[in-house]
A and B are shown apart, each in its own frame.
Chain A
Amino acid sequence: MSGLRTVSASSGNGKSYDSIMKILLIGDSGVGKSCLLVRFVEDKFNPSFITTIGIDFKIKTVDINGKKVKLQLWDTAGQERFRTITTAYYRGAMGIILVYDVTDERTFTNIKQWFKTVNEHATDEAQLLLVGNKSDMDTRVVTVDQGEALAKELGIPFIESSAKNDDNVNEIFFTLAKLIQEKIDSNKLVGVGNGKEGNISINSGSGNSSKSNCC
């Protein structure tokens, strides 16, 4: 069962995009998830950026291989107690960005726990991406090699970024969107409209996208 879904809007229904991708940012508190998102969507950086409580949502339309893709970006609270809320939003996520802080080893160690949570709650087809943020900082404790090794171990791609210096921020979202698009293309999902509600195509026999609900 798959939770991946694309929306084709090329049939003159007035939509300004070709497809939609639901993407989630997860990781420990303070690693810079919201800063990455704000840098990407609004091209701003504020070091005293406000804490995310529960979940926040932003939208940005990007061009991927000539197609207009609407990225639906969900930013989650990092504190453990909000996990029960944030996992409710994993459903149908096509891309999940696991973020750690290169200056804080604990956040790097916890990535394995986040990976486990993703496996428990997200769909099998969700494309994951590991991000080591705050690469501009002199106080780095997690090396690039360590980041790459972990990504290899988890079998997911890896990018180091700095929301502050705007290093590799766009790359995170474009890389992920392209990988999702490739996945969709290989699964032949694009443009398979079911004729309902503006050509929505849900490639799931039952619409049940969460592993925890698989029978």
Chain B
Amino acid sequence: MSLRSFFNTSHSNHDKDAIAGKDFDAYFQSLIGSNSEKAEEQKGKAISKLLKEKNVRLLRCMGLGPLGFVSNSLRKDCWYELLASQLYIDGSAEYIPPVDKHKDEGQVILDAERSFGGISNKNLKLQLKALLVELITGILRKYPTLNYYQGYHDIVSVFIICFSSNVVEDNALEWKTLSLRDQIDMERLFYCVESFTLLYLRDFMMDSLDFSFEQLRLISSLIKESNLKFYNVFKFDENEPLFAIGSILTIFAHNLKPINSGDTNLHKILFQIFDMTISLQSMHIPLIIYKNLLLQNAPEILKHIEANSDVFENDFDLRHGAIQTVLQEKLCDESLWEEVLQITRDHSTSASKKVLKRVHLNKYSTLLNTAYGKPRSFDMDTIIFYLNEQTKMNERYKKEKYRGVTTKSKTRALFKRLGHFLPSKYNKLGKISLLIGILAILYQLQTTRSLSLLLSLRYMISTKLKELSHMHMNLHDVNHIWMDPIKDILKLGHQNR
């Protein structure tokens, strides 16, 4: 659903509302007019009014539009209202037996120690770090089935900065004696982090990155739908977008958090991305934004790949190197970000069913339920059910990796691999004909040779192709592996003559 259609839906439902009564375009034009300060002031007043009315529906429109929720003093209240409307948590209830200490707390401390680099006041920085540890360990101890990942601390830092910016930006305060905790609404801050974690970040907080990889693969699928030429030239079918992991796991906080105290404008972009994500209740947003970032820079990325094709050991490295080199510079370009966010607003803000179908997502992924892009309220029983099911599923994935797949799925996987790992230079017809060839050989062996020969042949091919399924394999370099099984088949056939 685009922002326009989203707004129109809200409009029809709230036609008595003063803001909704205005024409969409005229309204937003007035907000983003030539004088940004004036626009901020106008939008700020409108948001304050909506907050008083607890008009969640129109607050979501505000969050999606240019400037987002305008300022952190308004933003923290908007985030709270929206997140509270998406998930009801009884503060006194115990949903999972808590623990006194979570296994990942050591890592949390290590990462907190390296946080808030943009804060120059030492005492304030210490308090911010302590607060970061307190919040993350609070969440982990309350939901011990969640696993901490490096990058989660960046997301929680965004919430902390949002809730404390009014005092953090006040240089007159003496942080040696003043307690940061006393200056902010800790209860609301914890609620926001808690609900955001449970609704938006479950996929990332399993015991492995499997579900995170699923989300990354959606970027390739989104690109295929939007720009097939770029998809093909970049070879997204062969190179998983692992280069995006830092941006996606942190919803761009890793890229846009202020490292130096002067990076305030990029910080504003980061807050707007969070505004959009929370307003739409959608983890599709970071993936779509990433897709738009790539597409906006596609010519440059391809140029870089062409110019550096002999510098890298393999296609996978070359593509990562190109993306990182191009984006590193571009991510500091505020106007590019404005453009990308506007493109994101103007087009579909959720992956289509067609795009989703191309990618395997676990049944309980946030992308399919709690952060699907549709406003919906959840109760904690449902969330805990999703969390438990995802945890079990993730465990199963892990066990399967060790034990290998079952006999039935082994055969299915074998044929799937046969099709998937054929060199990409062959078209679909070529792939099918080669598969038919293999099937013919198998049939021949089945009718003329012993069953044991057939089984050993299947095992041999399966083993070789399993080696190929090692992620990120550059298929152009491994054509020989495809040839090896055929050679081995011929050898095997020859030996049995």
- Count residues on chain B whose CB falls below 8 Å from chain A CBs: 51
Q: Is A212 within 8 A of B467, CB to CB?
A: yes
Q: Is A22 within 8 A of B313, CB to CB?
A: yes
Judge if A81 is at the interface, Cβ distance under 8 Å: yes
Q: How far apart are A93's CB and chain B's nearest CB, in angstroms?
A: 8
Q: Is B324 within 8 A of A56, CB to CB?
A: yes
- Count residues on chain A whose CB falls below 8 Å from chain B CBs: 45
Q: Is B317 within 8 A of A77, CB to CB?
A: no
Q: Is A29 within 8 A of B242, CB to CB?
A: no
**Lowest 5 CB-CB distances: which A-B pairs, in order?**
A92-B313, A53-B246, A207-B477, A54-B245, A88-B472
Judge if A79 is at the interface, Cβ distance under 8 Å: yes
* Majority SS at the chain A contact face: loop
Chain A residues lying within 8 Å of B107, measured Cβ to Cβ, are 29, 79
Alpha-carbon gap, A29 to B110, bound state (A): 8
Closest to B484 in A: A215
Total A-B contacts with CB atoms under 8 angstroms apart: 127
Q: Is B310 within 8 A of A49, CB to CB?
A: no
Judge if B13 is at the interface, Cβ distance under 8 Å: no
Q: How far apart are A118's CB and chain B's nearest CB, in angstroms?
A: 16
Q: Is B110 within 8 A of A30, CB to CB?
A: yes
Chain B residues lying within 8 Å of A62, measured Cβ to Cβ, are none
Chain A residues lying within 8 Å of B336, measured Cβ to Cβ, are none
Q: Is B111 within 8 A of A51, CB to CB?
A: yes
Chain A residues lying within 8 Å of B325, measured Cβ to Cβ, are 57
Closest to A205 in B: B480
Contact of B149 among A7, A79, A213 (CB under 8 A): A79
Interface residues of chain A, those whose CB is within 8 Å of chain B, are 3, 5, 7, 15, 20, 22, 29-30, 46, 48-57, 70, 72, 77-79, 81-82, 84-85, 88-89, 91-93, 197-200, 206-210, 212-213, 215
Interface residues of chain B, those whose CB is within 8 Å of chain A, are 107, 110-111, 113-117, 125, 147, 149-151, 153-154, 207-209, 242-243, 245-246, 249-250, 254, 257, 259, 309-314, 316-317, 320-321, 324-325, 464, 467-468, 470-473, 477-478, 480-481, 484
Alpha-carbon gap, A213 to B110, bound state (A): 35
Q: Is B242 within 8 A of A53, CB to CB?
A: no
Q: How far apart are A87's CB and chain B's nearest CB, in angstroms?
A: 9
The verdict on A82 contacting B209 (CB below 8 Å), with A48-B117, A208-B481 known, is: yes
Q: Is A20 within 8 A of B311, CB to CB?
A: yes
Chain B residues lying within 8 Å of A56, measured Cβ to Cβ, are 324
Give 15 A-B contacts (CB < 8 Å), ordered by A residue: A20-B311, A30-B113, A46-B117, A48-B115, A53-B245, A53-B249, A55-B242, A57-B321, A82-B209, A85-B209, A88-B316, A89-B317, A89-B320, A92-B317, A206-B481
Alpha-carbon gap, A26 to B48, bound state (A): 50
Q: Is B259 within 8 A of A50, CB to CB?
A: yes
Q: Is A213 within 8 A of B321, CB to CB?
A: no
